[in-house]
Structure 1
Amino acid sequence: MALSGRIRSGISLFNKLGYLTSDSLSAQRSTLPRTLTAPANFVTSRNFSISSGKQKEERVKVPLALFGGSGNYASALYIAAVKSNVVDKVESEILDLVEAAKNSPTFSQFGKDLSVPLETRVKAVQEIANQAKFSEITKNFLVLLAENGRLRNVDTIAKRFVELTMAYKGEMKAIVTTVIPLPPAEEKELKETLQEIIGAGKKVKIEQKIDPSILGGLVVEFGQKVFDMSIKTRALQMERFLRDPINISNI
């Protein structure tokens, strides 16, 4: 079974067991909700990676400076994944979990409800991680999020983590917005063009977005650059041109 399928299976298992039903959530709420947040230095100081003990301690440099709570958690996950040489696996697991959770409103509610007892949150993510056969790094990280009431932030943390993994792998994301998905041949041609622009130092990774409001053409965003070649923008430019008064002296 594919990873995404195992994750969905794990979430479905918890629905069947009653951990993630609305009634059970209400029943498990304590009279004094407990807000669990980590101190600023807690995430980076806690070691949730699994190592053999025989390996020499490796000092990992985070390739990007991320700020805020989500940035701290993403950086901690990155360091643990690099040390255990499972960056790609952890990235895949975290992204698949986020995608599966989007299709489970009950699980989403479960992650956001801080009044759910700590033990229930931890047991839930442990069961889902076991069902999905997650790596120990991912499993322990999800437990950490559950312990500190941060499951509600897993989507944002995953996005920040991907920023780090892309920098680690020398990738640059290009967001391409079109009205309909680009055919494979056109996507390949665009990728080659962008690769020529940024040079050989980085590898282009294209993310396609669909937005009918641009009417046609495309908008490309990568790095700090935006190339807007949409029909909508061209139409607005043409409208402004037609509205500008004509200077007879220039004719």
Structure 2
Amino acid sequence: MAFAGRMRSSLPLVSKLLRSEFLSLASRSAPQRALLSPTFSDSEFSRNYATATGKKEDKNVKVPLALYGGAGNYASALYLAAVKANALDKVESELVDLVDASKKSPIFSAFIKDLSVKKSVRVQAINEICAHAKLSDVTKNFLALLAESDRLRNIEAITKKFLELTRAHRGEVIATVTTVIPLPPQEEKDLKDTLQEILGQGTKVKLEQKIDPSILGGLVVEFSQKVFDMSIKTRASQMERFLREPVDISSL
């Protein structure tokens, strides 16, 4: 998506807004920096976000998964707002691109993680970046509230939880297969078909391959919080434990 390019071109905006702030930090003590930005509770965040989106509560819109913890709560709130605005796919794409941009840009990464940056500076920078990158209103409001409540540093964790919700919404199941070398195309297809048969026609299996030479051979398949370990490493460990067990001669 073109967002990554727009994000890079927006970095001078961040630099300009942060330069004076970062230069003044050296003269502040650690306690002073820690007190610059108070945090909001989860309930405060929910109320503020509901107000910012201008959406009334819709009892018919529900999250497809029950998520827990701070990141789960924020992801759930964003999911509801995105569904109501009919912008789920767009918000998902924007969040993924934003996280990717933060990983590629040391300046932006430092900006979202540094709690010593003034709240007004964070919010102004986020608003300008969102406007420059032409992000949707749902994403813009969400990021502004994260910036205001000192939660912007958690954007990657929130995005991961949000992706769990969007995948569940689409009936997708991510299956990770770990092997020593990449699976040949036909074997990958056969495994995907087998998983599809196990999970039923109401789901869409997306297979992700992971290479790990330490398993020695075989494969490990993980999906829906289940693990099927058919690796040579595990089988060898099981065989070793079996051989070390004392033999009960009386049973022979």
Q: How many residues end up aligned between the 2 structures?
A: 245
Would you say 1:27 and 2:24 are equivalent positions?
A: yes
* Rounded Cα–Cα distance in structure 2 between residues aligned with 1:120 and 1:185: 53
Where do residues 85-124 of structure 1 align in structure 2 (5 Å cutoff)?
85-124=86-125
Please report how far the alpha carbon of residue 200 of structure 1 lies from its aligned counterpart in structure 2 after TM superposition: 1.0
Segment of structure 1 superposing worse, 140-149 or 31-40: 31-40
Aligned to 1:13: 12
Aligned to 1:206: 207
Aligned to 1:2: 2
* Rounded Cα–Cα distance in structure 2 between residues aligned with 1:9 and 1:211: 37
Please report how far the alpha carbon of residue 36 of structure 1 lies from its aligned counterpart in structure 2 after TM superposition: 2.9
Please report how far the alpha carbon of residue 95 of structure 1 lies from its aligned counterpart in structure 2 after TM superposition: 1.4
Secondary structure, aligned partner of 2:243 = helix
Secondary structure, aligned partner of 1:41 = helix
Indicate if the aligned counterparts of 1:18 and 1:24 stay in contact, CA closer than 8 A: no
In structure 2, list runs of 5 or more residues that go unmatched. Answer: none
Indicate if the aligned counterparts of 2:71 and 2:161 stay in contact, CA closer than 8 A: yes
The C-alpha deviation readout for 1:224-249, integer Å capped at 9, x for no partner, is 32111122212212222332334455
Please report how far the alpha carbon of residue 8 of structure 1 lies from its aligned counterpart in structure 2 after TM superposition: 3.8
Aligned to 1:40: 42
Opposite residue 167 of structure 2, the aligned amino acid is M
Indicate if the aligned counterparts of 1:28 and 1:117 stay in contact, CA closer than 8 A: no
Indicate if the aligned counterparts of 1:62 and 1:164 stay in contact, CA closer than 8 A: yes
Indicate if the aligned counterparts of 2:79 and 2:88 stay in contact, CA closer than 8 A: yes
Secondary structure, aligned partner of 2:53 = coil
Aligned to 1:49: 53
* Rounded Cα–Cα distance in structure 1 between residues aligned with 2:139 and 2:234: 43
The C-alpha deviation readout for 1:75-105, integer Å capped at 9, x for no partner, is 1100111011111111111112112212223
Would you say 1:190 and 2:191 are equivalent positions?
A: yes
Segment of structure 1 superposing worse, 145-154 or 187-196: 187-196
Indicate if the aligned counterparts of 1:179 and 1:215 stay in contact, CA closer than 8 A: yes
Structure with greater helix percent: 2
Aligned to 1:240: 241
Pick closer, same or farther for the CA change 1:143–1:185 going to 2, 3 Å: farther
* Rounded Cα–Cα distance in structure 1 between residues aligned with 2:168 and 2:145: 25
Secondary structure, aligned partner of 1:219 = strand
Please report how far the alpha carbon of residue 19 of structure 1 lies from its aligned counterpart in structure 2 after TM superposition: 4.2
Opposite residue 27 of structure 1, the aligned amino acid is S
| Aligned-residue CA RMSD (Å) | 2.8
**Percent of residue pairs bearing the same amino acid type:** 59
